Amino acid sequence: MMWELKSISFWRAVFAEFFATMLFVFFGLGFTMRWSPGPMNVLLVSLGFGFVLAALVQAVGHVSGAHLNPAVTFAYLLGAQLSIFRCVMYMIAQLLGAVAGAAVLYGVTPPSVRGNLGLNTLHAGVGLGQGTAVEIFLTLQFVLCIFATTDIRRNGFMGSAAIIIGFSLTVGHFFGLYYTGCGMNPARSFAPAILTRNFGNHWVFWVGPLIGGAIAALLYDFILFPRMRGLSERLAILKGAHPPEAEGQQEPRSEPIELKTQAL
């Protein structure tokens, strides 16, 4: 923890999470605004969220890992790929960034168009349990995609991780918009809720994504592609006792190659 407090790169990463999440929420919620009567344009919203995430992953992935999502950060914590302190700071930065982005959008959008500011709501007939289950599955596939596409232990060229991750978010929106308005990100759900002061069933959009992210991390790290790590090493990482490898330094081939959360 002490080396992180004194590290400029750490605070740069925290700021990157704040700034990128602000842009993500500003543009993402902006796609949900209805400038003309009629149903929501699911294609526009789904592609919009996916495209803006892909752009931001490309922009700040090498700075902070471009989590932009408390569920993603929590998943990395369970995988012992970042410290508890970094996890907490990332989440705070993401929530503040999301509120800032939603507040700017609220200020620049006419009241007649603003509506509920893209607030996540369960579709009529979708129960709390059903909505939570949908959010779990949406976030599960999303976080699993992130872990898989950013794992440098994989061999061969896989294309752009940023684009693939953006497509994964788009897939979630294509499906989830009909059920829950597609949260998949507690920060994205928290921002419009706090600005509109509407927290009805808000817990669904925290519990579902956090559980989904946790399942994805455990599946990938312990079943699908296990990491050879002892308990003492994992605890040291969680405590922040291990600083990240120097940039550009390659690990010996005799040792297992670990996923770097600082670079997508």
Lowest mean pLDDT among 37-41, 59-63, 199-203: 37-41
Please report the pLDDT score of residue 153 as a whole number: 84
Mean pLDDT computed over 64-83 = 95
In a domain, 245, yes or no: no
For 175-195, write each residue's pLDDT tens digit: 999 999 999 999 999 999 999
In a domain, 248, yes or no: no
CATH number at residue 45: 1.20.1080.10
Calpha distance 46→41 (Å, rounded): 9
259 and 81 Cβ atoms separated by less than 8 Å = yes
Q: Against a cut of 0.75, is the pTM above it?
A: yes
Question: Which amino acid is located at 216 in the chain?
Answer: A
In a domain, 6, yes or no: yes
For 209-223, write each residue's pLDDT tens digit: 999 999 999 999 999
Calpha distance 181→187 (Å, rounded): 14
Please give the residue range of the domain that contains residue 109. 2-33+41-239
Give residue 1's pLDDT band: very low, low, confident or very high (50, 70, 90): low
Please report the pLDDT score of residue 234 as a whole number: 84
Please report the pLDDT score of residue 36 as a whole number: 85
In a domain, 60, yes or no: yes
In a domain, 166, yes or no: yes
For 128-152, write each residue's pLDDT tens digit: 999 999 999 999 999 999 999 998 8
In a domain, 252, yes or no: no
CB-based burial, 89-125: b 16+ in 10 Å, e otherwise? bbbebbbbbbbbbbbebbeebeeeebeebbbbbbeee
Please report the pLDDT score of residue 242 as a whole number: 60
Give residue 251's pLDDT band: very low, low, confident or very high (50, 70, 90): very low
Answer whether residue 85 shows pLDDT above 50: yes
Answer whether residue 264 shows pLDDT above 60: no
In a domain, 258, yes or no: no
Lowest mean pLDDT among 8-22, 46-60, 159-173, 218-232: 218-232
Answer whether residue 14 shows pLDDT above 60: yes
Total domains present in the chain: 1
Mean pLDDT computed over 235-249 = 62
In a domain, 262, yes or no: no
Calpha distance 175→2 (Å, rounded): 43
